[in-house]
Structure formats: structure tokens, C-alpha cells
Chains A and B, each alone.
Chain A
Amino acid sequence: MALVKIQNLTRLFDVSKPWLNRMIERREKAFLTAVSDVDFQVDERSTYALVGESGSGKSTIGRMLVGLLPPTKGTVEIDGIDLANETDDAKIDKIRADIQMIFQDPFASLNPRWRVRDIIVEPVAARGGNTDGLAEKLLEQVGLSVMDAGKFPHEFSGGQRQRICIARALASEPRLIVCDEPTSALDVSVQAQVLNLMSDLKDNFGLTYVLISHDLTVVRHMADRIGVLYLGRLVEEADPQDLFESPKHPYTKMLLEAAPRMDGFGREVTPPDGEIPDPINPPSGCAFHPRCPVAEDICKRDRPAMRALGGARVACHLAD
């Protein structure tokens, strides 16, 4: 069953100059399209990963998922409830408790003046719940000591702080956790510990993860389904096995080819041309066509629709 259902999700940001400058310089308003017509579903108890380079809109989608940003167009439905348009407060209240988020930087996402106990129980305390012994129980579940509850965040290392963030996300017994680059700030060996912890918790509590990452190796290890984003558009969606062994979209192919490999000793790769285009004036048709090695006229003209191809979905005119 799909826990999260995203349809035609679009988000624009107003990047216009101030009104007076626009009047004097006779400029139009300018909009940056961070997310454009994205559709996908996340099954309950699965891990859905969003990958893409910087500026591909993956974090913006994550923020819209948890309700930190309203969508410009389209809907985000979690368990059948659209947070942006639902009017029944009781329903909103119930579903909010089911959603939590883990951020990239464990140094910036913990209040330095609060004790760990207060940080962890805050999602429950804010709603007036019973917090007796909760912090201690959660600390043990994420592999820290009960004694740590009285300490301050600065007394912990990066990996331990990320464990505290995970404990806080678990406090309200959520069903969905959006993890925005949870291990990007951590060293490899610490990353392994945190990823293993996330896998264990998922099994124990029946969690659903939306994992946002730029690291293809992490995504391959963790995800049940992967969506690849380019310039705010979903270009391919597939199971990890299919995506890594037979990528369909030329962008996915380029990304996999460019990623460094452990066994790629002295590998001579032809590095990809160009960089991500300007999202304020995206290219016509398929956003990838200026860098695509197989682009044809139709790619410049029409934006490809998402279509099913085997077990995958791909937005490319030419993929087969």
C-alpha cells in the first residue's frame, strides 16, 4: 500500500529583483523552478531514495513532503491526507505525528543549549504527551548510553549526534521519516554504523524512509526504489538492481559512469560535458538535451512524459 503519493508536484521560487529595480530596469518577475511535475509513490515499510546533483530539487521535495514548504502546484498525500489542503484539524494533527525528518548537519540541527533529554522528547512534549523515561529508552535503542541524557550536544561526536537526531525522530513513533543526506557529514566507518542503525530501526518499527542523497553507493545499499532527479524533474525511477545494471535514461548512465569506483584503478573516463543548466531558464523540451549524447530534434521540442519501461519508469523519448 502506498503511504506517500505525490502527484504533479511543482515548486517555484520567486527570485525577482525588488519592485523598484524591476520598474527602473523594465524587468519581468523571475521564477526558479526547483521542482517540476514530479510524480511518485512510496510504499509502506519501504525505502524510497531520491538522488541527484546539487540543484536537482531533491531537498525541496523532502521539505514539501514534511510540510515545511507548501507546493506551488500538485499534491502530497500522506496516508490519503493532503496536508496543504486538508481542513479537518484533527486529521492534520494525527498525520503530523506520523512524519519526522533527519537533517544533514548534526551540528546545526541540535539546539546547543538544550540537554539531550529535552531535545529527544520535544516532539512528544510539544504535543503534551507523556515523556517519562522516553529519552532513556530511545537512547538505548539508537546505541547510546542512558547516562547521555543529561549531556549537551557539544559533548558528542558527529556520528553520536546523528544518533541523537534519529532518537528525536523516533520519539513520536512516526511511520514516515524523511532523511535528507543523513550521512553526508560523516566519515565512512561512522556512516556504516549509522546506516546499519537505520536499517535495524526500519525492521523493528516498520518505518518508511524517504532517503535524499547524492551518494549513489549509499542509495544502492539502502533503497528499495530509486528516483533520479535532474533539474527538478524525475527522469528515471527503478529498483536498485535495474537502475545500476541497466540504466535507461542517458543522464542516469552519465551519472553512473562518472561516479568513482573502488576497482577503477587508473580508469580513463571521458568526463561528462557541461554542468547542470540554469533553473531560471531551463532548456526547452527535455532538460538534459544540451548534454545528452543521443539527443534528437524531438528532445529539443517536446518534454518527454514519464512512461513505464519494464519494471522502471523513464522520461526519455529515445530510451528503450
Chain B
Amino acid sequence: MVEPVLSLRNLSVEIPTRHGIVKPVDGVSYDIGAGEILGVVGESGAGKSMAGNAVIGLLNPPAHIAAGEIWLKGSRIDNLTGEAMRRLRGKEIGMVFQDPLTSLNPLLRIGDQLVETMLTHLDISQSDAEKRAVSALEEVGIPGAAERVNSYPHEFSGGMRQRVVIALALCAEPSLIIADEPTTALDVSVQAQIIALLRRLCRERGTAVMLITHDMGVIAEATDRMAVMYAGRLAELGPVRDVLSHPQHPYTHGLMASTPLASAGKSRLHQIPGAMPRLDSVPEGCAFNPRCPYTTEKCRQAPAPRPESTSAACWYPLAREKAS
């Protein structure tokens, strides 16, 4: 692969608490290439959003990057100062959050919000920025963009608002977009529209996308590769087709099997016993070992090596035929 747009190397995020240090992200490494969509899945508390926030420098203190490196287009960004990071944010990295209403300023017309972003990051005049605001809205499929540019966020429906947020994330032509649950608050038919839009823009512009979601269906349809996170660690990483059809990590396998989709026609859903450990009590060794049907002594002693390109972080990865 040519040089990836984003590269996480052994990234760890720590939060000091009264009861000791917890690690919501623990030694995570992955790359995203240009024009590629990487899906990051996991249950609540698995650290998927925290990793995204670390990349864009929006960790809430006392959370901080404790180890590892983040590289964006060949330069290291995890050690930048606040001011340098502010210039990067919005210019090189666009962000789309879950709730489109809270990520827009309710008191500013959407055109003004787009213009402000472009004037901050691009070297263009006010009138050029206004023209580009209209074309940005057209590009994300907002009908009547020339008039709608003067509307306030509350005048848009949920799906249209999310399009505005995507236009806002894209208007400074970033090389990376972090989309954190972009369709969770939307209806199924609108979700299909937004996913199609993200894929088209990613393909046309060669933007790298980190798509954080808990919806396996969205991952299957939208992404090229996927990363499965569990208790802050990477459980499995690989091409989406391989991971979904032939999961090698017992956790991924259990997760797939417990979706009602995979159990179609069966009277009971597959259950993974227990629950994900709290971050202050992650077990020794492999974090999944107390819930895993294949656990041995080895799993309780040391965590399995982290996945390279297509493997699972497991001592006993499921064989292809066994998993299917």
C-alpha cells in the first residue's frame, strides 16, 4: 500500500481516576488509506469513539494519549500543540457526529457556518466562499441549495441536517473524515441515503473515512475494512468480507451470531455469557477470556499478539471452516 492517510501505531489513551489508571484505548494500531472506509465496531465502552477523539485531539482531560503515535499523511500529529492542532482540525480532518442538531450552531444560518469554516482554513475571498457554500450543499444532495443556504438548522429535517454536517466536514477538503455513529439517530430510509452519500464522496474525492458504528449492517455495506474493538483493544482487523463471513476471534464470532439477522429462523438468539468488563477491572491476559468458550491457561496469562493485517488478536483463532 502507498503511504496511508492515517496511521495509528500502538495508541493508548489513559484516564487517571481515584481507583487507578484506566485504559479506554490500549495499544491500538490501524491504517486508513486514501479513498478507503474503515469501519470501527464495538459495544458501548469498547473505546471506538475514544480512539477517534484521540486522533482529532478532542480528548476530554484528564484523558490523554499515554503511548503510541498518530501519523497523518506522513507527519506525526499526536504531539502537536493546541494551536497547531486547531489549524489541522477542520482543514485536514473533518468530523461528523451522531447528533446533527447539536453539532450545528442553532443561531447561525448554515451558509454562514460553511463560509466561516472555509475562510478559516482556505485562502479564498468571502464571495468565493459563499459560492462554494452553495455548491457544497448541492454536492451533498440538498434540493434548492441556493435558497436553503440562508436557512437555520432547525428548518431542516434530521436527514437534511446530517447532510449539512457532512457538507461542513467536507468544505475545507480534508483528507480524513471521522464519522462517529453518523446514522444512528436517523431512520432506515434516510440512513441508506447518508451511507450512499458518504461512499460516493469518499470515492470521488479519495477521502479516507473512519466510520465508527455499532451497526453490523452498516459496516457490511459501507466499509472496505473493519476493526473490531473489545475493552479498549483491537480484537480483529481485516477486510470486511473476511471478518464478517469468517470471523476468527471468538468475540467477533459471538457478536455476529447474536444479531437477530444471523439467527434468522432460529427460536433463540446466540448469547455471549456475561458482559464486557468495566475498564477498571479488565482481566489479566486476553480481555475476553472469562467469556470465551475456548479459553485455556495461556489466555489467562498473556494477551494474544495484536493483529497484523488480517488476523485476530487470539491465541486460538477460529479456523475458517469452524467459524462458518
Closest to B244 in A: A262
Q: Which of chain B's residues have a CB closer than 8 A to the CB of A222?
A: 260
Q: Which of A85-93, A124-132, A182-190, A301-309 participates in binding chain B? A: A182-190
Inter-chain CA distance A193–B44, complex, in Å, is 16
Q: Which of chain B's residues have a CB closer than 8 A to the CB of A21?
A: none
Within 8 A of B (CB), among A108-124: none
Min CB gap A203→B, angstroms: 10
Q: Is A6 an interface residue (CB 8 A)?
A: no
Is the interface on chain A under 10, 10 to 19, 20 to 34, or 35 or more residues? 35 or more
Q: Which of chain B's residues have a CB closer than 8 A to the CB of A187?
A: 43-44, 214
Q: Is B261 an interface residue (CB 8 A)?
A: yes
Q: Is A217 an interface residue (CB 8 A)?
A: yes
Q: How many residues of B contact A (CB 8 A)?
A: 42
**Interface flags, B230-274, vs A, CB<8A=1, else 0:** 000000000011001100000000111011111110011111100
Q: Which of chain B's residues have a CB closer than 8 A to the CB of A254?
A: 189
Check if B188 sits within 8 Å of A255, measured CB to CB.
yes
Check if A199 sits within 8 Å of B187, measured CB to CB.
no
Min CB gap A230→B, angstroms: 11
Check if A217 sits within 8 Å of B260, measured CB to CB.
yes
Min CB gap A191→B, angstroms: 7
Q: Point out which of A193, A265, A267 has the most chain B C-beta atoms below 10 A from its C-beta.
A: A265
Q: Which of chain B's residues have a CB closer than 8 A to the CB of A195?
A: 260, 269
Check if B240 sits within 8 Å of A193, measured CB to CB.
no
Within 8 A of A (CB), among B44-61: 44
Q: Is A311 an interface residue (CB 8 A)?
A: no
Check if B157 sits within 8 Å of A262, measured CB to CB.
no
Min CB gap B160→A, angstroms: 8
Closest to A265 in B: B241
Q: Which of chain A's residues have a CB closer than 8 A to the CB of B241?
A: 265
Q: Is A289 an interface residue (CB 8 A)?
A: no
Q: Which of chain A's residues have a CB closer than 8 A to the CB of B267?
A: 199
Check if A221 sits within 8 Å of B260, measured CB to CB.
yes
Check if B189 sits within 8 Å of A272, measured CB to CB.
yes
Q: A193-B271, A199-B267 are in contact. Are A53 and B240 (CB under 8 A)?
A: no
**Interface flags, B130-173, vs A, CB<8A=1, else 0:** 00000000000000000000000000010110000000000000
Min CB gap B293→A, angstroms: 14
Min CB gap A274→B, angstroms: 8
Min CB gap A223→B, angstroms: 11
Q: Which of chain A's residues have a CB closer than 8 A to the CB of B43?
A: 187-190
Q: Which of chain A's residues have a CB closer than 8 A to the CB of B260?
A: 191-192, 195, 215, 217-218, 220-222
Inter-chain CA distance A254–B192, complex, in Å, is 11
Q: Is A266 an interface residue (CB 8 A)?
A: yes
Check if A196 sits within 8 Å of B269, measured CB to CB.
yes
Check if A260 sits within 8 Å of B192, measured CB to CB.
yes
Check if A214 sits within 8 Å of B188, measured CB to CB.
yes
Q: Is A216 an interface residue (CB 8 A)?
A: yes
**Interface flags, B166-191, vs A, CB<8A=1, else 0:** 00000000000000000000011111
26 example contacts (A-B, Cβ-Cβ < 8 A) are as follows A157-B275, A158-B44, A188-B216, A188-B259, A191-B258, A192-B258, A192-B270, A216-B188, A217-B260, A217-B261, A221-B263, A259-B192, A259-B217, A260-B195, A260-B221, A261-B220, A262-B220, A262-B244, A262-B259, A262-B262, A263-B244, A266-B221, A271-B192, A272-B192, A272-B193, A275-B159
- What residues make up the interface of B, taking CB atoms closer than 8 Å to A? 43-44, 157, 159-160, 187-193, 195-196, 214-218, 220-221, 240-241, 244-245, 254-256, 258-264, 267-272, 275
Beyond the given A53-B187, A269-B221, please list 7 additional residue pairs across the A-B interface where CB-CB is below 8 A: A159-B275, A190-B275, A258-B189, A260-B192, A262-B261, A275-B189, A275-B190
9 pairs of A and B residues whose beta carbons are closest in the complex: A260-B217, A192-B258, A221-B260, A53-B187, A187-B43, A192-B269, A258-B192, A271-B193, A217-B260
